[in-house]
Amino acid sequence: MIDNEQVEEIFLVLDDKLEKTAAVLKDQYNSVRAGRANPHILDRLQVEAYGGMSPLQQLGNVAVSDARCLVVSPWDKSLLKPIEKAILASNIGITPTNDGTVIRLVFPELTEERRRDLVKQIRRMGEDAKVAVRNNRREAMEALKKLKTAKAISEDESKNCEMDVEESVRKSIEEIDKAIAAKEKELLTV
């Protein structure tokens, strides 16, 4: 790596963007329902409570009671109906059961066809992440080219930096491929 503040800045921005891309993909994968109880499926759920919208995590406890059942225990029992309404409106494909004290979400077994559809969906998400990574690479390469044109770095330094960018991108794409493979395995495991 070259001792040049502009080059360091390019690499800091690139690494930050690559990390965020992988993190966003993994976050998206957490919200994909895989046939077993996953409390992260409710992470983005907003509930109308106390005159405004609040995240479910601020209104109660979400716990996994067994492999295919989530239990939502609101701290205020008057919020059972609004939480149930928010879950129904969220289109996660699970009908909540309200017993007066807690809400249960029973995850049905996924059919083979649904598993295949979900695998296609996660592959598409993975491919979108790879496209974002490649766009980040292009931006970094253009920034390096501008530095070379402005004579801020030499031809050899430019080549070395480009190889470093390619290496960072390769590692990021490998991480994305691992995430795709892990989620596929999770989905296809019966």
What secondary structure, in 3-state letters, does the chain show? Answer: CCCCHHHHHHHHHHHHHHHHHHHHHHHHHHCCCCCCCCHHHHCCCEEEECCEEEEHHHCEEEEEEECCEEEEEECCHHHHHHHHHHHHHCCCCCCCEECCCCEEEECCCCCHHHHHHHHHHHHHHHHHHHHHHHHHHHHHHHHHHHHHHCCCCCHHHHHHHHHHHHHHHHHHHHHHHHHHHHHHHHHHCC
CA dist., res. 5 & res. 99, Å (int):
61
pLDDT for residue 116: 87
Question: CB count, 10 Å around CB of 38?
Answer: 17
pTM for the predicted model, two decimal places: 0.70
pLDDT for residue 34: 67
CA dist., res. 103 & res. 99, Å (int):
7
pLDDT in tens, 156-174: 888 999 999 999 999 999 9
Instruction: Provide the pLDDT confidence category of residue 148 given band limits of 50, 70 and 90.
Output: confident
Does the pLDDT at position 33 exceed 70? no
State the residue for tokens 């990390």: 19
pLDDT for residue 35: 65
Instruction: Provide the pLDDT confidence category of residue 89 given band limits of 50, 70 and 90.
Output: confident
Domains of the chain: 5-31+111-188 (1.10.132.20), 39-106 (3.30.1360.40)
Does the pLDDT at position 98 exceed 90? no
pLDDT for residue 14: 93
